[in-house]
């Protein structure tokens, strides 16, 4: 029997959210901008301004999400990162730890990658208009994979590196990207790669020179989102023509170009649709596929912190000056790509459209000409979001303005020095083995006894098309609760196929189930009206990353129901080996984490959620076959939380 608490009013949470807010980048209930769990004001005080802040956790999430999509193609693959986007050494070291290789575009980048601990076999080189010194350097790196950019490059590589195995960059004469400034191909002739009309000539030249040309490379543009997937389809069709003409090709590098939302009306890239295109065109060609994004992995993981130096009316416009110019981050000027201007302290009151100006003696030095901001004051910290790519890496010393620092904010783990990714994988393997060890259901058939309290709340938030998700569904004991919501679609995800296979047939009817990682679920953003995470949180070594993903796939205004046990739970620490202050291994295999209610609420609000209900529940559990042999008592803190609704433009806070 569960001990039930009556519904209570909202506890606390943020105001209406900006379109760009998420777990690791949001305003807290005091109006402070939080970046990777730290106040932007505190970061500016610690490091000074201007300074770049990069979130290692966000980079890891981006890698995991993209890798899951790539793996769904079903072909052998390798993920590279385009170093030209951001070459900050700690960031590269973090990517190396994630098993990501490096796309390099100069001998200098090769040397920098080697200095950061990469091996030559982990690098892929693609560049054009190379000098004699460049070719000489490449000849000394026999294990480096090279994609020749031209017929000239084939000839000169053969002279310096006879018999080399390599790839050839091709030009599909079809464009895509954020805008025309970032199209690497299209109707206008470009400098990149070999066009189809000279492809046969390139193949013959490589053969005659004794080169072993077994790979193709194509990067058609930077910054495509879902609306541009039709263009990408045409690009892939053109690549297929090259492949048909060269049956000896065994490796295909599809470049990068995956974009992120830059303004409020941008929809994020549908990775499932993107992966489906890759699969349709190349999944059955027996190719080793490579991908080399830059922006997608790091752009939204970075922020540039600046100080407001003046606020003044000029010619009928309000100009907000900051202590950084386009020499610090050139993209808004050079490529017309906007950054999000976000005050480190949100203030109440009406917003106005202002001009944000840099500190260079150049007319072009404007960060934004129509930014929507509440009143700013001298000394305020103004942050530019989505600044992680093509910012510091493209900076210059123009006007001898060189004041800039960079800092990678490390992932804060609950398990000390243990590798969280390895622990999470070992944990998933342990649970999967448990589910496979018996044909019986381990957790029983009865839903958790407190769920009926929240059925009406789930029903209230449904909107067409209505979808609900059981995250960490296991054998489906709590699916009846989700079905009672009346949603048009009920989804279930779990890392164990054996668990999902044990869901009773009556519950499997019409169920959309998926084997997947809760930290990289593969669902589109803003997809679900409501999600349950029941008897799951305590088993997650990477709970913060999972919360970030669930925030991402919830619709604004959507609900998440979660229970989190503390040390008053009946099994807390029982027959468990301590890993840290609040984390344990049960039976040397299963991860468990116990945190008190106040810490649970802090974790939820730090993730950007608004808490609607917070209360204690107690109930008795029957034995679990193969896992816990005795009847036992459970105590959990149950939280109903909401992803905040989006703020209306030009409204007061």
CATH of the domain at 629: 3.40.50.150
- 163 and 271 share one domain: yes
- 87 and 228 share one domain: yes
Which of 278, 298, 318 is the last residue in one of the domains? 298
Which of 268, 298, 328 is the last residue in one of the domains? 298
pLDDT given at position 4:
45
CATH of the domain at 294: 3.20.20.10
Contact status, residue 113 vs residue 143, Cβ threshold 8 Å: no
- 312 and 274 share one domain: no
- 156 and 227 share one domain: yes
- Report DSSP letters for 444-456, one per residue: -SSPPTTGGGGHH
pLDDT given at position 417:
62
pLDDT given at position 415:
60
Is 38 part of any domain? Answer: no
d(CA 450, CA 4): 7
Contact status, residue 381 vs residue 16, Cβ threshold 8 Å: no
Phi-psi region of 206 (alpha: psi -120 to 50; beta: other; left: phi over 0): alpha
pLDDT given at position 6:
41
- pTM of the shown model: 0.90
Burial of 653 (0-12, 13-18, 19+ CB in 10 A): middle
The torsion defined by the Cα of 617, 476, 481 and 547, in degrees rounded to 10, comes to 60
pLDDT given at position 15:
61
Identify each DSSP E strand in 397-502 by its residue range: 405-409, 467-471, 489-494
Contact status, residue 149 vs residue 105, Cβ threshold 8 Å: no
- Give pLDDT tens digits for 224-268: 999 999 999 999 999 999 999 999 999 999 999 999 999 999 989
Q: How many beta carbons lie within 10 A of that of residue 204, not counting itself?
A: 11
Is 409 part of any domain? Answer: no
Residues (pLDDT < 70) of the chain are 1-15, 413-418, 649-653
- 488 and 366 share one domain: no
pLDDT given at position 548:
93
Number of domains in the chain: 3
- Provide the domain limits for residue 152: 55-298
Is 50 part of any domain? Answer: no
- 230 and 158 share one domain: yes
Is 474 part of any domain? Answer: yes
Is 552 part of any domain? Answer: yes
- 294 and 306 share one domain: no
CATH of the domain at 350: 2.40.37.10
- 89 and 211 share one domain: yes
- 219 and 308 share one domain: no
Which of 298, 324, 344 is the last residue in one of the domains? 298
- 291 and 308 share one domain: no
pLDDT given at position 413:
60
- 172 and 61 share one domain: yes
Which positions ≥6 away from 344 have C-beta within 8 Å? 32, 33, 39, 40, 41, 44, 305, 380, 381, 382, 383
Contact status, residue 138 vs residue 147, Cβ threshold 8 Å: no
Residue 500: HSE in the Cβ half-sphere, 13 Å Cα cutoff: 18
126 strand-pairing partners = 147
Is 573 part of any domain? Answer: yes
- 433 and 470 share one domain: yes
pLDDT given at position 11:
44
């Amino acid at each position: 029997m569960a001990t039930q608490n009556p519904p209570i009013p909202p506890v606390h949470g943020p105001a209406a959210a900006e379109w760009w807010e998420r777990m690791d980048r949001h305003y807290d209930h005091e109006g402070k901008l939080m970046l990777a769990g730290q106040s932007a004001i505190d970061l500016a005080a610690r490091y000074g301004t201007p300074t770049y802040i990069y979130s290692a956790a966000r980079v890891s999430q981006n890698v995991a999400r993209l890798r899951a999509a790539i793996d769904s193609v079903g072909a052998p693959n390798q993920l590279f990162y385009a170093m030209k986007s951001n070459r900050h050494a700690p960031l590269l070291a973090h990517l190396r730890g994630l098993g990501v290789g490096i796309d390099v575009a100069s001998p200098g980048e090769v040397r920098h990658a080697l200095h950061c601990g990469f091996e030559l076999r982990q690098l892929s080189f693609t560049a054009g208009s190379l000098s004699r010194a460049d070719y000489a350097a490449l000849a000394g790196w026999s294990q480096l994979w090279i994609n020749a950019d031209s017929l000239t490059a084939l000839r000169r590589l053969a002279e310096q590196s006879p018999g080399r195995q390599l790839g050839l960059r091709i030009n599909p004469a079809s464009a895509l990207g954020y805008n025309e400034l970032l199209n690497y191909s299209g109707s206008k002739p470009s400098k990149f790669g070999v066009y189809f009309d000279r492809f046969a000539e390139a193949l013959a030249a490589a053969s005659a020179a004794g080169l072993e040309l077994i790979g193709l490379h194509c990067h058609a543009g930077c910054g495509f989102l879902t609306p541009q997937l039709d263009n990408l389809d045409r690009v892939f069709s053109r690549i297929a023509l090259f492949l048909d003409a060269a049956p000896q090709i065994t490796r295909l590098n599809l470049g990068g170009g995956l974009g992120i939302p830059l303004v409020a009306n941008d929809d994020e890239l549908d990775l499932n649709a993107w992966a489906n295109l890759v699969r349709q065109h190349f999944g059955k060609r027996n190719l080793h596929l490579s991908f080399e994004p830059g922006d997608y992995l790091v752009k939204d993981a970075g922020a540039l912190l600046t100080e407001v130096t003046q606020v003044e009316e000029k010619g009928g416009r309000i100009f907000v000056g900051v202590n950084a110019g386009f020499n610090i981050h050139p993209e808004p000027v050079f490529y017309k790509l906007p950054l999000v201007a976000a005050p480190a302290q949100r203030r109440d009151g009406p917003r106005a459209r202002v001009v944000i100006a840099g500190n260079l003696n150049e007319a072009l030095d404007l960060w934004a000409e129509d930014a929507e901001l509440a009143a700013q004051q001298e000394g305020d910290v103004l942050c530019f979001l989505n600044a992680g790519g093509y910012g510091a890496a493209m900076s210059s010393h123009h006007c001898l303005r060189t004041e800039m620092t960079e800092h990678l904010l490390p992932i804060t783990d609950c398990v000390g020095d243990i590798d969280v990714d390895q622990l999470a994988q070992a944990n998933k393997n342990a649970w999967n083995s448990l589910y496979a060890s018996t044909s019986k259901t381990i957790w029983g058939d009865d839903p958790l006894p407190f769920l009926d309290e929240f059925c009406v709340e789930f029903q209230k938030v449904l909107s067409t098309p209505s979808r609900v998700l059981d995250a960490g569904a296991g054998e489906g004991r709590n699916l009846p609760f989700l079905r009672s919501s009346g949603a048009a679609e009920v989804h279930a995800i779990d890392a164990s196929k054996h668990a999902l296979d044990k869901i009773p047939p009556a519950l499997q009817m019409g169920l959309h189930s998926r084997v997947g990682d809760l930290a990289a679920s593969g669902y589109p953003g803003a997809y679900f009206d409501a999600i349950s995470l029941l008897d799951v949180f305590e088993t997650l070594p990477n709970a913060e990353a999972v919360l970030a993903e669930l925030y991402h796939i919830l619709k604004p205004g959507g609900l998440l129901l979660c229970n989190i046990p503390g040390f008053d739970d009946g099994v807390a620490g029982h027959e468990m080996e301590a890993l840290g202050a609040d984390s344990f291994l049960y039976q040397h295999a299963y991860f468990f984490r116990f945190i008190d209610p106040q810490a649970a609420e802090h974790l939820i609000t730090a993730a950007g959620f608004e808490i609607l209900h917070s209360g204690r529940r107690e109930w008795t559990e029957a034995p679990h076959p193969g896992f816990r042999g005795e009847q036992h008592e459970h105590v959990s803190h149950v939280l109903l939380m909401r992803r905040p609704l989006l703020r209306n433009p030009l409204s007061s806070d």
